[in-house]
Amino acid sequence: MPSTYARLLTAACAFATTASAVTPITVNGKDFVNSETKDRFQIIGIDYQPGGSSGFTKKKDPLTDKDACLRDAALMQRLGINTIRIYNLEPSLNHDECASIFNAAGIYMILDVNSPLTGGYLDRTDPVSTYNPTYFEQVYGVIEAFKNFPNTLAFFAGNEVINEQSSYEVPAYVRAIQRDMKDYIAKNAKRSIPVGYSAADVRKILPDTLNYFSCELENSTSSRADFFGLNSYSWCGNSSYKISGYNVLTKDFSDASLPVFFSEYGCNEVTPRYFTEVEALYSEEMSQAFSGGLVYEYTQEDNNYGLVQVNDNNTATLLVDYDNLQTQYNKLDMSAIQSSNKTQTSKKPTKCSADLITDSSFLNSFDLPARPSKVQQMIDNGLPNANTGKLVSVSSTSISQKIYNHEGQEVTGVKLNVLKDGESNTPSETGTSTSPSPSTSTSGSSESSGSSRSSGTSSASGTSGTSATSSIGSPSSSGSTSASATPFTGAAGKQSTSLLFGLLSGTAAFAAVML
């Protein structure tokens, strides 16, 4: 029989695992809301695909390196974000430690279900042959891997699949994938997890894309998107609400019946980036149409969109864009951002009909493809031999790597702050101090220039990689693949504290003391 000591220690550790769990987010009308408090949840986030195209293989993806995740979660927490987006994941790998680290940091995850590898995506030029059971092993594998984490905010069924190169019937296939994902979640997960689509900012068909995915289809209610993401780079440098076209976007999405957010933003045609669009995005006027956004991107890749440079010598450098974005986040009025609005939450979808579609090049039929029988079996019985993820304890909060600012000075005291039960991360003035060190070099700093979103992104079904030729405000497409196939990373290829928070906190700490 276990000793009292052992039982108390087990209970304390179990509590420590769950005590830092965030509260799941749900959809209410056109808002994301905290499922317990009902406060509005605005996405203050960043796109996360370390290594670009080389950062994903069958043997590694962004959420398999525990040490890297701990470092990045601590730096993201210091930055003030509450959400990350990951583009490519390998469902056979173990993601438990990384997902649990981000959960402990109060950071939610929005996950793309597609893979750039063969059979892992819907080909925008040939959706008929690629909508098959092999593809859904990837899709359902990602769902299984992340369905049990409370910080799994949502899944993307596709990224920029619909553009000028896609076949006419592609919208129906993407909507069918949403249906198949939502039906799987309803049958095989303990809670509802939102599913939606990430669109390129192709203004010609943007209203039609929104209408196609957001309308209510009587014979297939589960095919409706729960949210709508937009990859937009129209605000460059010190632009303005009108010059950038944000006023037009606000008008276009003001009557949306579901949450809309920027799934990628952060033009780099002018460097350094000052992110003056942050103030506009979270303003009272624009927040009536948008639920925040995700800055592209966390790590510095060849396309020069990064906030953090990961160096070969096991150090990391916070680039000037990191500081600039943090400055903008720290100006936000979080109480206003989180306040709920009955007008927002009472929005109801329009019934699907052909007259919702205005552009002749966009599909106006809502006849969805039939679900393959083997896919139905997966829904009914669950994915065979699924690698189902689970929340685990976070045993370390100190990072092993040295961190430098963009001037080469060491940044001290960077640790993961394990938040209390139900808390999520928010911008803060704390932890911004740096201490100059005589022995510090600037070897980690990167000041490269360039504006092409090319870090390996491709523009297939559920991927990223925009077709910049057809996207308003997108950086140039040099380097990004727009072949009919492979999806990859995103858009462009497109504080610290000196206190150490252990796992045993709150009641768990009391149990430890009682030992």
Active site residues: 160, 264
Instruction: Look up residue 385 and give its two tokens.
Output: 């031999």
The dihedral sign for the CA sequence 164, 216, 190, 31: positive
Cis peptide before 216 (omega within 30 of 0): no
CA angle 266, 269, 274 (to 5 degrees): 50
Give all strands (DSSP E) within 232-324, no chain letters: 260-265, 292-295, 308-310, 315-318
Give all strands (DSSP E) within 337-494, no chain letters: 402-404, 410-411
β-pairing, 227-231 vs 260-265, is parallel
CA angle 318, 290, 88 (to 5 degrees): 55
| Distance in angstroms (rounded) separating the CA atoms of residues 119 and 110 | 22
| Distance in angstroms (rounded) separating the CA atoms of residues 465 and 471 | 11
Region at 408 (left for phi over 0; alpha for psi -120 to 50; beta for the rest): left
| Distance in angstroms (rounded) separating the CA atoms of residues 322 and 274 | 9
Check if the beta carbon of residue 309 is closer than 8 Å to that of residue 319: yes
The dihedral sign for the CA sequence 428, 429, 430, 435: positive
Cis peptide before 436 (omega within 30 of 0): no
CA-to-CA dists, residue 257 to 4, 38, 339, 469, angstroms: 54, 18, 18, 29
CA angle 293, 296, 300 (to 5 degrees): 150
| Adjacency order of strands within the sheet including 31-34 | 25-28, 31-34, 40-41
In single-letter form, the type of residue at position 238 comes to N
Check if the beta carbon of residue 225 is closer than 8 Å to that of residue 258: yes
Largest CA distance in the chain: 73
